[in-house]
C-alpha cells in the first residue's frame, strides 16, 4: 500500500500496518530455487530436531542453511525465503496431483515419455487454467506445424 510516496504493508500476523522493508533482494535464480529445495530437504529431514520445533525456529534453520550454501551473493530475508518456498511448494503440489491422476489412469500402451507428456500437459492446465492452457496448446500446435 502506498501513501504519500511511502510504502506500508500489513504485518505477518495481520494485526497492523508496519513500514515496508527497504529494497528487495531481487528475484531468485534457478540455482537459488534448487538450493532452497535442497535446504528444505535437509532441514525438514534432520532427525536430531524432530517435528516439535516452532515455525520461527524452523525458518531460522532454513535461513542459516540457505545462507551457508548460497553462492549468489544475494542476501534473501527469511520472509522472502518463506514466500518463495510457498510458491515452489504450491507448484510441486500441482505437479504431484497431475502425476497421481496419470498414475490412476494407467493408460495401456504408453511409455514413460508419453506419461511425462500427459503429466506436463495436466500441470500446465492446473497452473495457468484450462482456458489459457487450451490457447497455449493451440498456439503450440500452430507453431509446430510451421
Name the residue ranges covered by the structural domains of the chain: 2-96, 107-146
Q: Grid cell 500476523 — which residue?
A: 13
**Mean pLDDT throughout 58-64?**
94
Are the C-beta atoms of residues 109 and 61 closer than 8 Å to each other?
A: no
The pLDDT of residue 54 is above 50: yes
Q: Cα 15 to chain center, whole Å?
A: 26
This prediction has a pTM of 0.63
Q: What is the pLDDT of residue 112?
A: 82
Q: What is the pLDDT of residue 82?
A: 95
Q: Which own/partner pairs from 81-85 qualify as long-range (CB within 8 Å, at least 24 positions apart)?
A: 81/36, 84/28, 84/33, 84/36, 85/36, 85/40
Amino acid at each position: 500500500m502506498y501513501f504519500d510516496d511511502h510504502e506500508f504493508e500489513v504485518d505477518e500476523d495481520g494485526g497492523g500496518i508496519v513500514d515496508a522493508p527497504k529494497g528487495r533482494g531481487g528475484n531468485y535464480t534457478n540455482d537459488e530455487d534448487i538450493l532452497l529445495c535442497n535446504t528444505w530437504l535437509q532441514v525438514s529431514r534432520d532427525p536430531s530436531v524432530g517435528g516439535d520445533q516452532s515455525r520461527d525456529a524452523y525458518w531460522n534453520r532454513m535461513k542459516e542453511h540457505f545462507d551457508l550454501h548460497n553462492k549468489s551473493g544475494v542476501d534473501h530475508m527469511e520472509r522472502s525465503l518463506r514466500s518463495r518456498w510457498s510458491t515452489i511448494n504450491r507448484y510441486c503440489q500441482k505437479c504431484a496431483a497431475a502425476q497421481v491422476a496419470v498414475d490412476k489412469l494407467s493408460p495401456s500402451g504408453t511409455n514413460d515419455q508419453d506419461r511425462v507428456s500427459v503429466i506436463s500437459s495436466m500441470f500446465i492446465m492446473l497452473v495457468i487454467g484450462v482456458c489459457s492452457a487450451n490457447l497455449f496448446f493451440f498456439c503450440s500446435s500452430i507453431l509446430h506445424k510451421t
